[in-house]
Structure 1
Amino acid sequence: MSQSVTGSTMLRRQIGRKFESLRKAAGLTMEQAAERLDRARATLHRIENGAEHVRYRQADVQQMLDLYGASAEDSEVLLAMTAATRENKNWWHDYIGSGLPRWFQLYIGLEDAASNIRQYEAELVPGLFQTRAYTEQLLKLPNGAINAGDDEEQQRAIQLRIERQALLTRFSAPRLSVIINEAVVRRPVGNAKIMAEQLHQVLKAAELPNVTVRVLEFSAGLHAGMTAGSFSILDFPRDSKGREIEPPVAYLEAATGAIYLDKPHETAVYDSIWADMTRRVLNESHSKSLIQQVAEEYSRA
């Protein structure tokens, strides 16, 4: 597999699915396995979900393989894969614990590995488009993730967001399709100057060949996104034979945590929500015109 696919996050998720498959093949529930391994159920849950902060000691991995009755081939593969996690360090690791909540680091890794990202934002400009001034306004909100009185922590959170934006212009950048609610464009965040700058930044990003931005007007009326709130759907590269190496993921974020959905019936729901909204949005040209119009209104304010 290429380095873009064997990044720590994707590797860990593949390890997790392999361990889950072996456990189930052995006829063990997570509770039974945890008891026999003398580990907490929560630890096994983190392993099987590909949590970024899990450390795979060789002795622990071998103990799991022995309990699950893994074949020599499966054992060799998992021992090699878990060893690789001890060698990888992704760029965002420096921000963990300072500007990057642990529950968000998995998303950063998935975003970094995705080939296609579909994102709906109901209230805020997407993080991949945000200006420094706009982000500074958001960090004043009492959301608990960043200490409002810690300037250094806030600056690291802002720098993280800026570094994330390099994703859109890197070699083999993902395709990013964004739908934003009209409220995102019209509701002022900070002053008029901040909003004018921010909307021009959205327009600049929309000029990239791999980025599309469309606006869901108020006049669209009832739409499926109302039942879901903001969300992202991430698709990943396929192997040389066109096979899926990582299932799509739907990501939903809250103030204190996030939900990652990757079961086919779960992602299918978000596919249908996305499809409903794409039938109601302005096209790219009209979306850009609306954003430009509102940006000019802020510039004159």
Structure 2
Amino acid sequence: MTDMVGSALVRRHIGRRFVALRTQAALTQEQAANALQRARATLGRIEDGDERVRFRDVDVRAMLDLYGANSQEREMLLALTAETRNGRKKSWWHDYTESDLPAWFGLYVSLEDSAQTISQYEAELIPGLLQTRSYAKQINSMPPGYTDEEEIERRVHVRLERQSLLTRPRAPHLTAILNEAVLHRPVGGEAVMAEQLDHLLEVTQQASVSIRILPWSAGVHGGMGASAFALLDFPADPRTGEPLEPSLVYADTLTGAMYLNKADEVGAYRLVWDDLQKRALDEAKSRKMISAASKGFSGA
């Protein structure tokens, strides 16, 4: 399964299954750790899906015995933990330090990399997965004086690295809905904008990418209270048919991020997304609007 979904996703799924088994066994985390003769922090890392954890078969079996797992759970968890040991290539973001890639964003990068579909709305700017280097540098330079040049370059490099997921085999499907204002707001000058909009047109040639424009003529719409967000849906475990990770909503803030995964929260954003899809132009009309905006900046 690890050739289809990210190791981070599998580990988080394993962690949730172990939490469920421990809860069914009426054990606290501390009680379980003592019985297993493991540090509570170690058990916590297992349950959190921490990628630093190495699952030894003997340890997994001890946990399954302690929790009284049935044969189906045992088979599934032994198989899943074995997959984490099968030499999966280290993900590119593991080479970054905490200062380069803060933990709050590193989590999103790993989940984004494992998603089956990414549904993204932007009211102010081009989404990171679709930005050119010049556009990304301008965006990461704001607000003036907040970030030094070295940090800006690191952020831009991470952003460009993330884009590789759109061209890999079994790429997630990205649908981006952009407010029309995004096409006309001059970021970095006319040349930067013309290049950026032409890049959008190129990217739409990929089967895994759909870009649609929400025109001003759409009037009042559901996204007015949401500003910008990404809705991630994940693949299912072929053994059970259950998603390996619950759907989640991610939104950037100036100094961090917001993660929402409760069913009612995700449901509210899904309603917003459905409304945006109804009001946005189709792909062909969106391409025409992007092309016209590009010509406006390039003078062509």
Shared fold by TM > 0.5?
A: yes
When structure 1 is superposed on structure 2, of 238-247 and 214-223 the one drifting more is 238-247
State the alpha-carbon separation in 1 of the partners of residues 84 and 30 from structure 2: 25
Is there any run of 5+ residues in structure 1 with no aligned partner, and where? none
1:161 maps to 2:162: no
Shift of 1:201: 0.8
**Residues 125/51 of structure 1: CA separation in 2 closer, same or farther (3 Å cut):** farther
For residues 10 and 270 of structure 2, the distance between their equivalents in structure 1, rounded to whole angstroms, comes to 25
1:139 corresponding residue in structure 2: 140
- Kept in 1, the 8 Å contact 2:2–2:83? The answer is no
CA distance in 2, matches of 1:31, 1:266: 31
**Partner SS, residue 282 of structure 1:** coil
Q: What is the CA deviation profile of residues 15-70 of structure 1, one whole-angstrom value per residue up to 9, with x for unaligned ones?
A: 221122123213356688789976469x83x6544355x53576996699389634
Aligned to 1:102: 103
Please report how far the alpha carbon of residue 198 of structure 1 lies from its aligned counterpart in structure 2 after TM superposition.
0.7
1:183-262 → structure 2 map (5 Å cutoff): 183-240=181-238, 243-246=241-244, 247-262=246-261
Structure 1 residue 155 displacement after superposition:
2.8
Q: What's the counterpart of residue 119 of structure 1? A: 120
The letter for the 2-side match of 1:174 is P
Match of residue 3 from structure 2: 3
Instruction: Work out the CA distance in 1 between the residues paired with 2:8 and 2:2.
Output: 14
CA contact (8 A) 2:230 2:251 kept: yes
Structure 1: distance between partners of 2:280 and 2:34:
52
Of 64, 69, 72, the match for 1:71: 69
Tell me which amino acid in the other structure corresponds to 1:15: I
1:285 aligns with 284
* Post-superposition offset of 1:84: 5.5
Output aligned runs, 1:21-100, within 5 Å. Answer: 21-28=20-27, 39=40, 44=44, 47-52=46-51, 54-55=52-53, 65=63, 69-71=67-69, 78=77, 81=80, 85=84, 88=88, 89-100=90-101
Q: Which runs of 5+ in 2 are unaligned?
A: none
Q: Is the 1:250–1:261 Cα contact (8 Å) retained in structure 2?
A: yes
What does the per-residue CA deviation read over 1:156-195, in whole Å, with 9 as the maximum and x for residues that have no partner? 3322222222222222222211101122112121111111
Letter in 2 for 1:160: V
Alpha-carbon distance in 1 for matches of 2:277, 2:97? 35
- Native 8 Å contact 2:57 2:78 kept in 1: no
Tell me which amino acid in the other structure corresponds to 2:115.
A
Equivalent residues of 1:95, 1:156 under 8 A apart: no
Residues in 1 aligned to 2:62 and 2:188: alpha-carbon distance in whole angstroms = 53
Change (3 A) 1:98 1:204: farther
- The sequence identity of aligned pairs, in percent, is 45
CA separation of 1:226 and 1:244: change in aligned 2, threshold 3 A? same
Query: How far apart, in 1, do the equivalents of 2:49 and 2:144 lie?
Result: 26
What RMSD over aligned residues (CA atoms) do the two structures have, in Å? 3.5
What SS does the aligned partner of 1:141 have?
coil
1:16 equivalent in structure 2: 15
Q: Give TM-score scaled by structure 1 length.
A: 0.82
Which stretch has the larger CA shift, 225-234 or 120-129?
A: 225-234
SS state at 2:94 partner: helix
Q: Contact 1:96–1:105 at 8 Å: present in 2 too?
A: no
Rate the CA distance shift 1:51–1:229 in 2: closer, same or farther, 3 A.
Answer: farther
